[in-house]
Structure 1
Amino acid sequence: MKALSLPRTLANALLSDLQSGRGEGLVGALHERPCSVYPAQGSERAAALELLTSRGESLFACYAAAPRNPTPTPPETPQPPFDPPYQIRLATDIRGVIVLRAYTRDGGQSWQENIIVLEND
């Protein structure tokens, strides 16, 4: 399982968005390094993608709150243009702890879970 490095401030922004009640949007990257969170639901996603690209960022991941499920399930494949290399799922476990899960596609295009490593930034 390949590790995905996320800046700690970005992980905190994702968790904060989940706590705010939205918990869905896009993650932008500069030079393939995730750097920005764009909260957006449904039809707002196109505007978020436009803002992200206008700032010179590329789409790194889509994120969304995952349903409560004791067994993690891989995400569905998003439709273009929202088809980034990663999917991030935010969930609360039975103790109320917020959990981040990341997925990327393997060579066969099925989703594989990644370990998330937080970087101090």
Structure 2
Amino acid sequence: MLLVKTRVRDAYRGDVHIGFGLFADQFIPKGTIIWKFNPLIDRVISRYDLASFSDIELHFLETYTYREGENLILCSDDAKYVNHSHTPNTDNFENEEGSVTVANTDINTGDEITSDYSHFADDSQDGAVDAYL
């Protein structure tokens, strides 16, 4: 669940529109926890449940989930719009509160919030869902 004010809007890399992205709607100081897993809001999907989904549902899961152990995690808020960057402004890890995303630098209002997707996926796999099919 996002713990800071954000908004979704069009995202660009240079002049190229890449889809939607998540942008800070407030100043976020370095070290701030901006997202943490909340089992009342976010969803854990077992790899064993994937066979029951249609191709369209699997495509949605491939787009908006990440792997954590034997499960997929679906962020039920706008955190699913965080885009990948090789130089992200957040870090993801486990702490005593569970899965968290923390600002690794000051993030100004209007800055896109980014993450390094390699934290969530095994480089030998195509994607979260494909790894289990």
Same fold, judged at TM 0.5 (above): no
User: When you count strand as a share of all residues, which structure comes out higher?
Assistant: 1
> Which TM-score bucket, shorter chain as reference?
under 0.3
The two structures have a TM-score, normalised by structure 1, of 0.27
Larger gyration radius, structure 1 or structure 2: 2
